[in-house]
Homo-oligomer: A and B are copies of this chain.
Amino acid sequence: MKRYALLVAYDGTDYGGWQIQKNAVSVQQRMEEACARVFGARTCVTASGRTDSGVHAAGQVCHFDAETTIPAEKIAEVLNMHLPPDISVLNSAEAPEGFDANRSAKKKTYCYRVYLSPRRNPLKDRYSVWVKTPVDISKLKYISGAFVGKRDFKAYCKSGSQVKTTVREVYSVRVESGESYGSRDVEIYVCGAGFLYNMVRTIAGTMLCFAQGFLSEDEIARSFSDLDREAVGRTMPSKGLTLESVEYGLENFL
């Protein structure tokens, strides 16, 4: 048995998220089905972490163990023959010594995308969310610093989540913006060691509320001091969220 690592991209629109579950088709299920066909044996595929229902991935990383004569770098192509069009293995390699896609992950970067426009644009709607109320981009950039650091993100987590601690470290929040098709595209990149359920989508919603004038800097401060869920913006829809990349602090192995 050898361990292999995969770099995977998927359009999450039609999936109930990464993780195998009863009531929806998951990306993990499709990956494990493809592995079963290629390696002729039930294969568990472990990702860097779950992505929620409807969330996309440009650079999800997974690992699995298998016995195969297929050269490691050819596995991507062979798996793709058994995967649906909305999932693609971009790269495959033998995993480094002791590698675990989930436990070895050091940093994850998510991107939340919106476009600012008086009207909906169907060509932007799949990976980005329409925002009609004007947003002040300079205020959006200004407030991004409020979310950086080791903090208690309890107010940014779906209530009822069972986690040991709601403290997480965010390394950076970066706002990029550009024009296309007559409207402004905004990308909010959030990089951290790990995230709570709904955390990135609620950070994005809070930043947007602030930049629209619906939430004050004081309120955002209170979301951390009093962990007040009323002081944060709405959790944005899943389709605007993409897992961009996962870093392992290892030399380019994928």
Contact = CB atoms under 8 A, between A and B. Distances in A.
Contact of A122 (B10, B91, B121, B181): B10
A120 B80 contact: yes
Given A88-B119, A88-B121, A123-B242, A9 B58 contact: no
Contacts of A136: none
B119 A76 contact: yes
Interface string A76-103: 1100100001111111000000000000
B242 A85 contact: no
B127 A123 contact: yes
A121 to B, nearest CB: 5
Interface string A20-60: 00000000000000000000000000000000000010110
A126 B126 contact: yes
User: Interface residues of A toward B: which range?
Assistant: 20 to 34
Contacts of A11: 122-123, 125-126
A24 B181 CA distance: 28
A182 interface: yes
**What is the copy number of this chain in the assembly?**
2
Contact of A88 (B58, B87, B90, B120): B120
Which of A77, A85, A122 is the most central at the interface, judged by chain B CB atoms within 10 Å of its CB? A122
Contacts of A242: 123
A56 B87 contact: no
21 contacts: A9-B121, A9-B181, A11-B122, A11-B123, A11-B125, A11-B126, A56-B123, A58-B181, A76-B119, A77-B119, A80-B119, A80-B120, A85-B122, A85-B125, A86-B122, A88-B122, A89-B119, A90-B121, A90-B182, A91-B119, A126-B126
Interface of A: 9-11, 56, 58-59, 76-77, 80, 85-91, 119-123, 125-127, 181-182, 242
